[in-house]
Structure 1
Amino acid sequence: MSKFGLWWVMWDNGVYISRMTLGGRVPTSYDEVVQWFKKRYFDRVVFLGNQGENIGYTGNGYEDGRYLALWIMSHISSIKYYVTIPFSQYGSKKLRDDPSKGFANSYWKDWIDGVLSVFDNNRLGFFWSYESCLQATPHDEAHVTEEFIREMAEYIHNHNQEFIWIPATGSGSSVRGVSYLNDPDYDGILTIGGYFDYVFVQPNYYEYSKVDEKGNLGLQYTYEKLVEKVRWVYEELPTKIREHNPNAKITTASIEMEADRTVLGIHCTSPGDCPEGMNCDSNIHTCYEHCRDHHPQKAINYALDYVRALKDIDWKPSNLAYYFSTDFKVIDTLQEQCWRELNEPYV
C-alpha cells in the first residue's frame, strides 16, 4: 500500500522554496520535510504548485522543466516522487500553451524532456496538474483532447516513467467540475483515465456543500452523496475505464483524502492574524481555508467522513492520495481524532 502526499512548492524571486510547515513552523532543512512525510506513513510525494500558477515560467519548457528537476534532485533525497507538469502560467490562469495544437510540439513535451534530462533514481514519474474532469469532453474550455493525453502518456511511459492524475469531480459550479460521473459529455475520467497509472478522484465533499448532477443542479452534497461517489470510484470506474480503452495500461483508481488548515482552529480577530493563504471568519474568530464550514470541529468531521465512507462500502484502497494543505499538523490532528472516533488511522 502506498500513501501519496502532496508537497507544495513555490517559485519565489528566481528560486523554488518549499511551502510545507509543521504547526506553522518552517523546517530547518528539506531532509526534515522528508522525515515529516515519512513519519506520517507517506512513502511517495508529488511536487506541485497549484495547476502551475506557483511554478516558474520563462516560455522555454525544456529549461523550465530542467530547472525544477535540478532543484528537486539537489535538495531532496530518500523519498520517491512525482514531478508536476504545470498547466497554467506562473501567477496566472493563462495556459502555458494551446493543447488543441497537439502534444508533439508543445511546451509540455519540452517540459517533460527538460525533467528527463536530469537523472534521479527517486523520480517515479509525472503528475498532470490540470484537475478538471471536463477535459476530453465537449465542455472543456481548455480544449484538452483524448489524443493529447494519449500522446503525452505514451511519451512518458516510453521513458519508463509513471503518469498520475488527481481530477476534481464536483462543486457548486459546473465550471469547476460536475458529478455526472457516468455521462461522457461531462466526465472525462471515463475517456482518459486509462492512460494514467494512478487516478485519484477528488470527491470535493470537504470543500463544497452543493453538487451538480444530471438534471439536478445545486443539490445538497450530503454524506449519502459522498458514499455514492466513492462507491462509484470503487465499483464502476475501473470497469468504465477498461471498456473505453481495453489496451491501456492497468489503471489504479482510488480517491484523494481531503482536508486543510481549517481543522486546526487557529484563532484570529482579523485577516492579518491568519497564516498565509487563510482568511479570518470574524463571527467565530477562526482562520479558515477551503472547507465548506469554518468551524474546526465540523471541518474535522467532514474530513473523517471520507474514512467513514470507505468503511461503509467496505473498501480498503491499496493506494490513497492526501491533500492536507501545507501544514503537517492537519494530518496529526486528523490522525488523533480518527483513532479516537473510528479506532483506526487516518493515514
Structure 2
Amino acid sequence: MSKLGLWWVRWNGSDYESRMTVGNRKVTVEDFRERGFDRVVVLSGEGRGIKYSGPFYNSGYNDGREFARWVSNHIYGMPLYITIPFSRPEGFPRDQVQMPFEYSGANSYYKGWIDGVPSVDNTDPTGFYWSYESCLQTTSYDGAHVTKEFIQYMSNYIHSNGLELIWIPATRDRGVTYLREESFDGILNIGGYFDYVFIQPNYYQNSVCIEYINGHKQTFPYSYEKLVEKIRWFYEELPRNIKNPNTEISIEMEADRTILGIPCNCDNGHNCPENMKCDCNLEKCYEHCREHQPQKAIDYALDYVKALIDVGWKPSNLAYYFSTDFKVIDTLQEQCRRELNEPYV
C-alpha cells in the first residue's frame, strides 16, 4: 500500500522554500519515510505559492524547470508527484483552460510546465498532480470554465511521456445525491483521465451536508453517518461510473494543526503560527477544522479511519493532508493506536 504525504512549498520572491516542519525544525524526506509515507506530492495549494512568469509556453517551461530544479536539490530519494499550478498568485488561471493542448499548442503555459519539469535530471518524479481541486470543474457551476477536452489532452500528453497524473478533488459540503449527478459533479466527467483520484470527503472541515432531493437543496448535519455514506459511494459506485477500470479511487485523510491545541492569548495579541487563527474563547489556535477544541478535531480526523473500517474498504493507496507540521501525524498516530489498535498512517 502506498501512502502519499503532501509537501507544501512556496515562492518567497527569490527562491522556493519548504513550509514543512517537525515542531521548530524543517522536515526531511526521512521524516516522511519514518512515519510510513512512501510517496510525496510537492505542491503549493492550487498554485498561488508558485512563481508565475507569464501566460506562454516558454514561461511555463522555465517556471516548471526552476521548480523541478529546487525539488531535485531538496526532496530526493522518494517517488514524487509534482504539482501543475492552476492559479496565478492572485488566483486567476495561469492560462486558457477552455482549449485542449491540441489547439493551444506551443502557447500553452501548462504544456510548457509539463515539459519543463522533466527537463531537469531527476529520477524520482513519478508524475504530476493537477492542483485545481474543484469537483465542479467541467460543469456549468464552476467559474473557471475548465473543459473536459483540456483535461483529456493534458492526461494524454502526460501519459505519452510515461508519467502518471493524479487529482485530489474537494467535495466540500456536497452529499451523495449531488455527487451522483453529472451536471453537479465533475469527478464523473473527468475522473477516468487520472491514474489516481484521492477524494476529499471534507467532513473534518464542514458541519453541514447539502443533498439534492426531488429537485431541491436540503441541508443536513454532516454526521458520521453521512461520512460513511459518502465513503461507501466512493468505494462502491464511483469506480463503475467513471468508466475507466485503470483509474484507482481512494480518499484523502484530513487533519490539521487544530488538533495540536496550540495556545494563544488574545489579550496580548495573536501569537498563532502562520496561517492559523485565534479562538479567543478557547485561547487556542485553529486552522480549518469545523470545531476548534483540539480533542474534537482529533475525533473528526479519526472518524475517517473508523468509516473505512465500517465500509469494509482498505484502499491500496491513501493521500494525507495534515497541514505543515508533522506533530499532527505523530499525535494522530498515537491516538489511533490507542483507540483503534491500528496505525493512522
TM-score when scaled to structure 1?
Answer: 0.93
Residue 232 of structure 1, CA deviation? 0.5
Q: Which residue of 1 aligns with 2:32?
A: 37
Q: Could you give the per-residue CA deviations for residues 92-111 of structure 1, whole angstroms, max 9, x where no partner exists?
A: 11111121133343211111
Residue 75 of structure 1, CA deviation? 2.0
* Residue from 267, 278, 303 that aligns with 1:305: 303
Work out the CA distance in 2 between the residues paired with 1:163 and 1:95.
Answer: 19
**2:28/2:75 contact within 8 Å kept:** no
Work out the CA distance in 2 between the residues paired with 1:273 and 1:178.
Answer: 40
Q: Which residue of 2 aligns with 1:119?
A: 121
Work out the CA distance in 1 between the residues paired with 2:94 and 2:34.
Answer: 36
Work out the CA distance in 2 between the residues paired with 1:161 and 1:178.
Answer: 32
Are positions 1:231 and 2:229 aligned together? no
**1:200/1:320 contact within 8 Å kept:** yes
Q: Could you give the per-residue CA deviations for residues 94-137 of structure 1, whole angstroms, max 9, x where no partner exists?
A: 11112113334321111101112123110000000000000111
Residue 249 of structure 1, CA deviation? 6.5
Residue 140 of structure 1, CA deviation? 1.6
User: For structure 1, which runs of at least 5 residues remain unmatched after alignment?
Assistant: 243-247
Corresponding residue SS for 2:190: helix
Q: Which residue of 1 aligns with 2:253?
A: 257
Q: How many residues align?
A: 332
Corresponding residue SS for 2:29: helix
Residue 218 of structure 1, CA deviation? 3.0
Q: Structure 1 pair 179/328, CA: closer, same or farther in 2 (3 Å)?
A: farther
One-letter amino acid of the structure 2 residue matched with residue 341 of structure 1 = E
* Residue from 126, 135, 148 that aligns with 2:150: 148
Q: Which residue of 2 aligns with 1:196?
A: 194
Work out the CA distance in 2 between the residues paired with 1:335 and 1:192.
Answer: 34
**2:206/2:290 contact within 8 Å kept:** yes
Residue 272 of structure 1, CA deviation? 2.8
**2:227/2:307 contact within 8 Å kept:** yes
**1:178/1:211 contact within 8 Å kept:** no
Q: Which residue of 2 aligns with 1:62?
A: 61
Q: Which residue of 2 aligns with 1:245?
A: none
Are positions 1:21 and 2:21 aligned together? yes
Corresponding residue SS for 1:37: helix
User: For structure 2, which runs of at least 5 residues remain unmatched after alignment?
Assistant: none
Which has the higher mean CA deviation after the structures are superposed, 322-331 or 208-217? Answer: 208-217
Residue 178 of structure 1, CA deviation? 8.7
Work out the CA distance in 1 between the residues paired with 2:74 and 2:292.
Answer: 36
Work out the CA distance in 2 between the residues paired with 1:89 and 1:70.
Answer: 20
Question: RMSD of the alignment, in Å?
Answer: 1.4
TM-score when scaled to structure 2?
Answer: 0.93
Q: Structure 1 pair 318/238, CA: closer, same or farther in 2 (3 Å)?
A: same
**1:9/1:48 contact within 8 Å kept:** yes
Residue 196 of structure 1, CA deviation? 0.3
* Residue from 157, 160, 184 that aligns with 1:158: 160
Q: Which residue of 1 aligns with 2:79?
A: 80
Work out the CA distance in 1 between the residues paired with 2:100 and 2:188.
Answer: 21
Q: Could you give the per-residue CA deviations for residues 233-252 of structure 1, whole angstroms, max 9, x where no partner exists?
A: 1101111111xxxxx57001
